Amino acid sequence: MSSSVMRKLDVVSPVPADIDIANSVQPVHIDEIAKSLNLTPNHYDLYGKYKAKVLLSVLDDLKESKNGYYVVVGGITPTPLGEGKSTTTVGLCQALGAFLDKKVVTCVRQPSQGPTFGIKGGAAGGGYSQVIPMDEFNLHLTGDIHAITAANNLLAAAIDARIFHESTQSDKALFNRLCPANKEGKRSFNDVMFRRLNKLAISKTNPDDLTPEEVTKFARLDIDPDSITWRRVMDINDRFLRKISVGQGPDEKGMVRETAFDISVASEIMAVLALTTSLADMRERLGKMVIGNSKSGDPVTADDLGVGGALTVLMKDTINPTLMQTLEGTPVFVHAGPFANIAHGNSSIVADKIALKLVGPGGFVVTEAGFGSDIGTEKFMNIKCRYSGLSPQCAIIVATIRALKMHGGGPAVVAGRPLDHAYLNENVALVEAGCVNLARHIINSKLYGSNVIVAINKFSTDTEAELNAVRKAALDAGAFDAVVCSHHAHGGKGAVDLGIAVQKACENATQPLKFLYPLDIGIKEKIEAIAKSYGASGVDYSEQAEKKIEMYTKQGFSGLPICMAKTQYSFSDNAAAKGAPTGFVLPIRDVRASIGAGFIYPLVGTMSTMPGLPTRPCFYDIDIDTTTGKVIGLS
């Protein structure tokens, strides 16, 4: 990386609050970060001094360039406090760029404002391994989530409006309003209408040529209100929107139905953004999103409602990744932020593709996968890489002594409560017992053909004996290497050994990417392949799940990959089952589909898609210094 951009951190101990560290470092103008990647001003649009949107035209300009090394960061099954995947991702990149002189780009998800103001706080990393400006990263960024919210809610409005208008009009009246005559008395179909006509196998191009039966098929969607899966969204935690009714106004008499709000990052449109490969691909995916069924059981799409093109217009700028920087001046792409439960929990394909071209051979792109590797890395491999065509050379598993002690039988770890003394004092036996969890993550990650490295995120209370026990267990389980890191306390300098290990792992990668299952088998067979990797002995499907699997198969969607929606706190469905449980039967409560994004998602237990605020949310600590304009208290 360009030495003119790199910054030397003045590290102090004990480590100050994240926002204080972030505010203590003056970011360079984003032009300088862009120059370090050989980007010209034609390749990006500025969003202030410290953010820029990198345009997809970069891919066209660099299409003949070769890719750099591709690294994915997952983790062991976490505690509710998190084990530092984001911090490790950033720290590793700071080490590669600022200390090992490698071209590197960090690719991370955009955080939701829900957790930022709720329980978890921000997601810019932590300590001396952060993305800056941290307040801009954690709040509005470049408006992508706001655009997703607007697009999602436009589609929600279109659904209810269509049901309303169909309930009050004849087929002929509907058709006349959908295809009005111009001043010369001529009618025409617009572009989005031809998509519906093609779906209905109607080849006529003149509205006046349609038979009465074809008019009915074209104009009347006949949406079954009970089948609607599309909900409105907002990017704030609000438990009172988990169940609502709409249509209570006097003008919508008799149109009341129950629905709910989801948090914006749970919208299928966010998953579409993350998995799209081009603007044209995004247009197709948005149009194919299924919002429910007709009363005869046929899927109804955004294009059937005529809104696919408008959604793409609202989303046109979101497809460009946002360029930012780390504390030590290495480049970061922030793009997309799909839920890691009901969606695939990875940043975007386009950000990774652009980054791999920019770093080139010998450079590194490091991307983070949400939650433990049983969720994040599995979905990265089987969904994201399947659509992108990219193959990682190295898979990192972040582990902590704290989490391993929990998996070894330690007391419950609860956010907001002081840690039990078992986590603050040496207990090698407890650590060793918990390494069964780490071992399963290593074995599973190796199935995909990547070299696996364990990054042991060191805390001040960890002892040498405990760290050595983890390293031995990791190597015994087949890890390429296991490295102790102190990037939270020391920045990139604390992850240099990890950087060296990652370089060796990438240089020695020889196996092609292997998927856990092929796409041409049934939905159940795919679910069972994933369940087996969790340690399950079988799968139990509810009556509802059986019906949905039958319906999606009949509708032609069985060839999609699977995105399991389950707790991140255990390999099983039971969050309290720590370690590496075996012999359990995995219950599938329901099965849903994100057809535009391109996956089927079985629900293992109950998944909340709208978080609630705790008694003392993070917003208590957040304020602004009215003299300097700087944000304070953001974590």
Q: Convert the pLDDT of each residue in 314-368 to its tens digit.
A: 999 999 999 999 999 999 999 999 988 788 999 999 999 999 999 999 999 999 9
Q: Where are the beta strands (DSSP E) in 523-564?
A: 538-541
Q: How far is CA 618 from each of CA 470, 497, 621, 632, rounded to the nearest angstrom?
A: 33, 35, 6, 12
Instruction: Tell me: pLDDT of 466 over 70.
Output: yes
CA distance 112 to 262: 12
What's residue 4's pLDDT? 54
What's residue 84's pLDDT? 93
What's residue 124's pLDDT? 83
Mind listing the pLDDT tens digit for each residue in 112-130? 998 888 876 677 899 999 9
In sequence order, which ranges of 276-344 are alpha helices (DSSP H)? 279-288, 308-315
Residue bearing the bigger pLDDT, 49 or 617: 49
Provide the 10 A C-beta neighbour count for residue 172: 12
Averaged pLDDT for residues 263-274: 96
- 606 burial (CB, 10 Å; 0-12 / 13-18 / 19+) is exposed
Nearest to 388 by CA among 372, 413, 365: 365
Instruction: Tell me: pLDDT of 428 over 90.
Output: yes
Type of residue numbered 452:
V
Instruction: Tell me: pLDDT of 436 over 80.
Output: yes
Mind listing the pLDDT tens digit for each residue in 367-376? 999 889 999 9
What's residue 8's pLDDT? 86
Mind listing the pLDDT tens digit for each residue in 530-579? 999 999 999 999 999 999 999 999 999 999 999 999 999 999 999 999 99
Report whether 138 contacts 122 (CB < 8 A): yes
What's residue 608's pLDDT? 86
In sequence order, which ranges of 426-542 are alpha helices (DSSP H)? 428-446, 464-476, 487-490, 496-507, 523-534
Instruction: Tell me: pLDDT of 481 over 90.
Output: yes
Mean pLDDT across the chain, nearest whole number?
Answer: 95
Residue 1 pLDDT class (50, 70, 90 cuts): low
Averaged pLDDT for residues 590-600: 96
Report whether 143 contacts 51 (CB < 8 A): no
What's residue 2's pLDDT? 52
What's residue 488's pLDDT? 96
Type of residue numbered 549:
I
Phi then psi for 256, rounded to 5 degrees? -70, 135
Residue 468 pLDDT class (50, 70, 90 cuts): very high
Instruction: Tell me: pLDDT of 401 over 90.
Output: yes
Report whether 437 contacts 535 (CB < 8 A): no
Question: Which residues, other chains included, contact 296 with Cβ-Cβ below 8 Å and sequence gap of 6+?
Answer: 222
CA distance 363 to 393: 12
What's residue 437's pLDDT? 98
CA distance 576 to 564: 18
Query: Which helix (H) or strand (E) is 590 found in, with range?
Result: strand 590-594
Nearest to 142 by CA among 333, 276, 286: 333
Residue bearing the bigger pLDDT, 471 or 605: 471
Instruction: Tell me: pLDDT of 62 over 80.
Output: yes
